Structure 1
C-alpha cells in the first residue's frame, strides 16, 4: 500500500478507536461491547460466533460453547449450509437464547429455486422461523453477481422471503474487491462481510476500497479473516495443525490478538474469528478487554506482514 493511502487508513483506525471507546464505556467491563450495524438499528457484539466453531462437535459441547459465548456477551451468530453439520449443531444450542440473538445465515444458491430450498432447510435445521440476516455466500466472480440479480435469480428469493418475514436484512459475503464494489453499486444491501486483515490491507491493498464504499453507503460492515496470516505451504495444504482453517492463521496468541485488535480498530461492526475453538476463545478474551492498538504495536504488526503472501489479491477470482 502506498504511504499516503496507509496514512489515510490510519485516520480511519483512529476514528473507529474513538467510537469503540464510547461503545465500550457504555457496556459492563465483563461483557463484550456492541456496535451499531450500519443503518439497521441493530447492535451486534464486536465478536461474532462463526458456525464452524461447532462443526463436527458433539451436541453437549456445542451447547456449552454457545452458552458460554452468550454469557460473555456474544449476540451475533453466523452460519452457512456449507459448514458441514454446523447448522444442525447450532440450531438446538442457540434455541434457548434465540430471541435475544442476531442470527445470520447464507446461501450458495444462485437461482430462485436453489436459494429458496436452502433457506427453508436452514430454517428447519436452525430451529427458527426466521434469520435476521440472509447473505449471498461468496460472491467471488462477476458471473455470480450477474446470476443472482437476473430474473429467476436468488435475489427474488431474498426479497420474497423478506416480505414473508423469514429474513429481516439482505447482505453478501465476498472475497473479490471488484465484485464487492459492483454489488454495492447494483443493490442497496444492508451488510457486507469481507476480509479486513493486516496482511491483506498492507501487502495487497485488498479491502480498503470495500471499506470506503460501504461506509459511504452506510452499510453494516462485518469482518472476516482478522486473525489470518498467509497461505499454507504446499506440503501442508492437505495436512496442517488447524483443520478448521483453510488459511494459515496468525501465530497464537500474540500475533493473532494484535491482528484482531487491528481489525477492530477499523470502522467495522464485528469480526468473525477462525472456526478453531482456541482462536474463538482468544477473540472473546480480546474483545472483553479491547483496547485499540498503540502506534508501536501497529508498527510491529505491520513489520511482521512485510513480504508475507496474502491469501487474496486484487483482480483475482478466487
Structure 2
C-alpha cells in the first residue's frame, strides 16, 4: 500500500472510530515522512523529556508533547498572579511539556506578556514550541497583531501561528480573500517571523470543513487545525466525526482542546477528570491543549499523560455510553450552542484592529 492509499485508509478508519492509537501514530509518522520521535531525541532543536510522551505534528517533522499548556489561564481573571504563572510555565517545561499555546486577545494581551516573561528566562524559549493566534481577517489587521504578539512574547519568531475563532460561515472566504489575513501571514512566514500556519475554532464542524475546502481551492496546506475534542463531542455536531478524518487525510496536525468544556463537561461528573483528559488522546491527535491555572492542575495533566493507555474499541464504546444521554442535549458544549465563548463576536473590532 502506498502512502496516499494508506492515508485514505486511516481517514476512513478514523471516521468510523475504529483505528487504534498505534496505527494513528504510524499514520502521523508517515504523513511527516519520518518515524515517530522517541523520548530523549531532539526535534528542531527542542529537547524531549524521558517522562513525557511525544507525537508528530502532522507532516511538519516536529514533535510535540501529548499535552500542551493553554495560554488563557496564565492570566485568567481571579487566577494566578504573574509570578505564579511564570513558575507554572517553568515547571511544565521542566516536566517535558514543549508546547505553549496563546492568543493575541487573551486577557487583553496579558497572557502573552506573562508567557513572554517566562520564556525569556534561563533559555526556556529554546525548549519550547511556541504557538499563538490572531483574530485579524484583513492583511493590515493580521500583520499588526503578529507584530504585537512578537513584542509581547519577546521572541523574533513564532513557531506556529493560527487563525483564531473560525466560527462564522464567511470566515474562510475573508481569510483567503485578496487583501485578507492570509496575505500577511504568508509574508510574515517569508520574513522568518512565523514557521507554520494553522486555524482554530470551537463553533461548527461544517465551518472547519469549509476552511479546509477553501484552502484546497487555493492549493494551500494548513499545517495544523485546533478543535474541541472530548467525551461529549462524539455525540453532538461532532468535530471528531467530521473534521478529524479531513485533517488526517491532508496530513494536518490535529490539536484537541476543551476536554473539560470550560468546566461544563467536568461538572457533568460522567467520569473522573483524568479520564476526560485521556479520552481524546486515543484519537489521531498530535496534542491535547489544556488550561493549567495552578501547580495542582499541572500535576493532573502530567499524571494523565503518565498513566495514559490507548483505548480498545470496547473501552471507547463504554466511555461514550456514559456520556451519551447528557451529551445529546448540547448543554455541556455551550461553545457550540451559544455565543458565550465567541470573543470575536463580542468584540468585532478585533477582526479589523491592527
Using structure 1 for the length normalisation, give the TM-score: 0.83
Is 1:171 paired with 2:198? yes
Report what 1:62 is aligned to: 85
Q: Is the 8 A contact 1:253 1:282 kept in 2?
A: no
Per the alignment, residue 164 of structure 2 pairs with 137
Q: Distance in 2 between matches of 1:105 and 1:276?
A: 18
Separation in 1, partners of 2:227, 2:334 = 11
Structure 1 residue corresponding to 2:115, chosen from 81, 87, 90? 90
Aligned with 1:121: secondary structure? helix
Alignment of 1:289 with 2:322, yes or no, is no
- Cα shift at 1:130: 0.7
Aligned ranges for residues 96-135 of structure 1 at < 5 Å? 96-135=123-162
Instruction: Tell me whether 1:10 sits opposite 2:18 in the alignment.
Output: yes
Instruction: Quote how far apart the aligned CAs of 1:87 are.
Output: 0.6
1:209: which partner in 2?
A: 242
Residues 25/253 of structure 1: CA separation in 2 closer, same or farther (3 Å cut):
farther
Aligned to 2:272, the other structure's residue is in SS state helix
1:294 deviation in Å? 5.5
Give me the whole-angstrom Cα distance separating, in 1, the residues matched to 2:62 and 2:172. 26
Aligned partners of 1:221, 1:147: CA distance in 2, in Å? Answer: 23
1:258–1:297 CA contact under 8 A, matched in 2? no
Deviation, 1:129, is 0.6
Please say if 1:31 is aligned against 2:59.
Answer: no
Structure 1 spans left out of the alignment, 5+ residues: 229-244
2:222 is aligned, of 167, 189, 200, to 189
Which of 65, 79, 91 matches 1:45?
65
Distance in 2, matches of 1:150 and 1:316, equals 28
**1:157/1:273 Cα in 2 relative to 1: closer, same or farther (>3 Å)?**
same
Distance in structure 1 (CA, Å) of the matches to 2:270 and 2:82: 28
Deviations 1:33-54 (A, max 9, x none): 1100011000000100111231
Q: Tell me, what secondary structure is at the counterpart of 2:100?
A: strand
Offset of 1:303 from its aligned partner? Answer: 2.6
Aligned-pair CA distance for 1:31: 1.8
Distance 1:169 1:206, change over 3 A: closer
Displacement of 1:298 in angstroms is: 3.3
Alignment check: 8 A CA contact 1:30 1:72 kept: no
1:199 aligns with 2:226: no
Which shows bigger deviation, 186-195 or 268-277? 268-277
Tell me the CA shift for residue 8 of structure 1. 2.3
Distance 2:88 2:185 in 1: 31
Q: Deviations over 1:256-286 (max 9, x none)?
A: 2112221001110000113443444312211
- Asked if residue 267 in structure 1 is aligned to residue 284 in structure 2, the reply is yes
Structure 2 residue aligned with 1:233? none
**Cα deviation per residue 1:162-204 (whole Å; 9 max; x = unaligned)?**
0000000010002221111121122211110011112111344
Shift of 1:136: 0.4
**270-279 vs 92-101, which deviates more?**
270-279
Residue of structure 1 in register with 2:188 after alignment: 161
Summarize the Cα distance change of 1:12–1:178 in structure 2 as closer, same or farther, 3 Å threshold: farther
Give the match for residue 324 of structure 2. Answer: 306
- CA displacement 1:182-233 (0-9 Å, x = unmatched): 21122211110011112111344342221001000011111112233xxxxx
- Residue pair 2:270, 2:323 contacting (<8 A) in 1 also: no
Deviations 1:62-103 (A, max 9, x none): 221111101110000010022111111111112231112100
